[in-house]
Structure 1
């Protein structure tokens, strides 16, 4: 059975909500005056934007949000089953001011890339229907809804919401006097439900570099192997508790074996369900770190137990005007309060005005906790080959980027030729 929907009159906000709650699978629009075609700013960092513009071609796409009648803001988040949830926010501007709506598209793990983008396009088309209905194209709009067989959800999940991934990679290059071999492999296991988020990840990294100088071969071998695990329990929409464990062996950090365990608690100012668009959190953890070293440290230690704690403040915001991420973290060893680290990390992407955008990022750190530095002088070879971690009391990095675009306001045409 096919259900045909014709829309011939004005559209209220309530009617808009009713229409966009339906499952629409096919839309055909006829020719319309160019001035009556909706202008849309497509805002998605994880989509195949060229494919969307090519397939959903009954609107005009503009290059800047201030030029559009509609801001289509799409965010993506992973699901417990290994798929993705796309949240489509249709934000009305100018003629459609305050006519907003939100749709959700779920792509399961077994979807191919093509199936995922096709499904997303169908949902985008559905969300555009009410806005097209506001224009003179309304009497030329045809919508069909076909019967859909709903698959029954299996009663039992033999994997119990666990997702496993095995990965590996190798990089090799060789020249007359230099050869490089990098190996990486590991496993991740993740369990996500409304109540729990558990992640277990063993990892292995091996890096070998050979340099030939005056017929002498200089060999550099580094490895970093370990295991990281976390289990986080949801208490409510603002509180959660967790347990973090790490095991590491690193030649660069002079750690033969390091084991750390730290319980933690986190408070989210906004409900966790809003985390996709805005998140402000405060987290505190306290635990211990047991280490054995490959070489004697500058403090005369071959092994030690280190109690410590950490406090972290984080802000993550993604809105149509851009995105902001700020993280301030302080950690301290409790056996010696003068051994601490403070780090600040930020990134801002801001659409300031028509076509003008600014990107700012910075990393600042005060370092007073390098307890694993090996005793003795560091050779020039170790420095040049990055064999050892070097002593430092601070770290700073900053970047600034600006862009300005101007010219034709439309960017609907797709051309992938050479």
Structure 2
């Protein structure tokens, strides 16, 4: 009879209600998971001390997650041994459904954290405190018939409002989506409608200014695996936007993408090279700067997307070049970057930003925008570029061993 190791690693304390743990037997653990409930782990991981810097840790645990086709999440925990534990490197996978509560998720995460730490506890001579539970291998169940055929649907709607005596704001956002995700292909269908109305009452009580924006779109995407590193896709979308001067627009593009690394390694590293090509039809609300009220254009896009997640930090970079093929001068270059680097013990640097060179605003209205349109951002304006940048440093020092949880007054 086959057995498998659940290794819930119920680190059984040898005295009733648990005595103070011997600090020589604890493993210093750095959990690399910004959104996790670390206080819960700190309170429920015996013989492990959570530290705030990987440079003083014995074990660095990286959390990765990806969305599954059913709307749930697939997690991957990387256990990286440091110092005397450097020979230990392990990976654990598990999945949770989309209706998992926050408490259920942290319980599941804690369970697999304990399993992954068993190797460290063994090397640290903590075996007297570990209880191993062996269970019979479960009978292989027949996969249930899926009446939805892998399709997942989602409908969302939201309303937001705020205001004061001289100003009110109301917005309504709605979306619907359907997707089917399989190993070799995926289909994504979606649509959305957004409405926003801002009302301004000026000093003269008889003067009221409104800013009303409406936009909507529908999208359909099909992607197909052509191997471990190559994919093909078809993309189509249509919609309208008052702000962007589109009474209607529609696109249809074919695409190829090559990933230098195997797609199976996408949690850790990606370098994806992409190309899209296809027609775009624009029907404008007002005549454009190019004296067009409607036109058919051919558009192409070259792109490179890179993502790396390493023990020393994360790097993401994306660059794309777009061009209307009827005129090579109608193009744009988009750059986006995000960094989060652990420089040395206690010091980390984060930076994110975007810079875009713009020469393809074919949709701009002819004529000058009024002061009202500019100040209230009622219409898109001509520009040669746009950008944003955020950066900061964080330096933490002091005790690395304080494992106490004290939630009083909300701390």
Superposition map of 1:4-403 within 5 A: 22-30=5-13, 31=19, 32-146=21-135, 152-213=141-202, 214-215=204-205, 216-403=207-394
Would you say the 8 A contact 2:189–2:219 is kept in 1? yes
Q: Deviations over 1:345-384 (max 9, x none)?
A: 1111100100100112221111000011111110111111
Please provide the CA RMSD for this pair: 1.7
Q: Which moved more, 1:360-369 or 1:308-317?
A: 360-369
Secondary structure, aligned partner of 1:27:
coil
Structure 1 unaligned spans of 5+? 4-20
Counterpart contact for 1:29–1:137, Cα < 8 Å: no
Q: Which residue of 2 aligns with 1:18?
A: none
Give the Cα–Cα distance (whole angstroms) in 2 for the partners of residues 57 and 188 of structure 1.
Answer: 44
Structure-2 separation of matches of 1:151 and 1:171: 49
Worse-matched range after superposition: 154-163 or 344-353: 154-163
SS in 1 for 2:369: coil
Q: Deviations over 1:363-406 (max 9, x none)?
A: 11110000111111101111111100010011222222111100
TM normalised by structure 1 equals 0.92
Unaligned runs of at least 5 residues, structure 2:
14-18
Q: TM-score, normalised by structure 2?
A: 0.93
SS at match of 1:41: strand
Higher mean alpha-carbon deviation, 361-370 vs 142-151, is at 142-151
Runs of 4+ in 1 over 4 A off after TM superposition: 146-151
CA deviation after TM superposition for structure 1 residue 333, in Å: 0.2
1:173-230: per-residue Cα shift (whole Å, max 9, x none)? Answer: 2311111100001101111100112111100000001111112111110011111221
